[in-house]
Amino acid sequence: DVKVTQSSRYLVKRTGEKVFLECVQDMDHENMFWYRQDPGLGLRLIYFSYDVKMKEKGDIPEGYSVSREKKERFSLILESASTNQTSMYLCASSLGARAGELFFGEGSRLTVL
Amino acid sequence: SQQGEEDPQALSIQEGENATMNCSYKTSINNLQWYRQNSGRGLVHLILIRSNEREKHSGRLRVTLDTSKKSSSLLITASRAADTASYFCSTPGGSEKLVFGKGMKLTVNP
């Protein structure tokens, strides 16, 4: 079974802190994604990566950056956390097939105080 | 950029009843997918239907796709309390991306 593991299920950070959200997948998938999920807004794509060291902006990249140094790991970075980044963050991966099935992690609920 | 929109936004039924959810989308697609999300968890893929398919079954799930109307429906038959979850449709959003609707909350009462 494909497993996508997000390092932290719950985090509480302070405004201005640098935050790292880590995601690891174990099925050699080419594509990895970071979404955020907010009530009433659904899932919105922040960034995605289709290969090591490759990244593309999604719909809401402002305030975020990403890193993909190894194929299995995709990190989301909040350089200076703000209260409006309080959200549920979902990592997903997929094979190289065009817009195929996504495998999601359990999510990381981030609260910024 | 929202593509699929689920309807209704919330549905409450009794165990044993069928649940039908609809999804409408705007642009041409080559496939449409449905996902389930239990409260506070990640999404789980349910079924993918391709644009050249009209109907697909998986266990108690039946999905239809009408490309002329740009709509899809997900039917869950003989619902169970464990089916209580949010359900999302998703469509390709360019390159490898998927775009999700806002989701539909299904409550199955025992």
pLDDT the model gives residue A95: 86
**B43 touches A at CB < 8 Å:** yes
pLDDT the model gives residue B1: 47
CB-based contact B96:A94 (threshold 8 Å): yes
Residues of A in contact with B95 (CB under 8 A): 50, 56, 98-99
Confidence of residue A98 (pLDDT cuts 50, 70, 90): low
| Region of residue A10 (phi > 0: left; psi between -120 and 50: alpha; otherwise: beta) | beta
**A42 to B88: CB separation less than 8 angstroms, yes or no:** yes
Q: For residue A2, is pLDDT > 70?
A: no
**B21-72: per-residue pLDDT in tens?**
999 998 888 899 999 999 989 999 999 999 999 999 999 999 999 999 999 9
**B88 to A43: CB separation less than 8 angstroms, yes or no:** yes
**B87-103: per-residue pLDDT in tens?**
999 998 877 788 898 99
**Environment class of residue A12 by beta-carbon count within 10 Å: exposed (0-12), middle (13-18) or buried (19+)?**
exposed
The minimum CA-CA distance between B70 and chain A, rounded to whole Å, is 18
Identity of residue B27:
T
**A98 to B45: CB separation less than 8 angstroms, yes or no:** no
Q: For residue A15, is pLDDT > 50?
A: yes
A88-109 average pLDDT score: 89
How close are the terminal C-alpha atoms of chain A, in Å? 37
**A107 to B40: CB separation less than 8 angstroms, yes or no:** yes
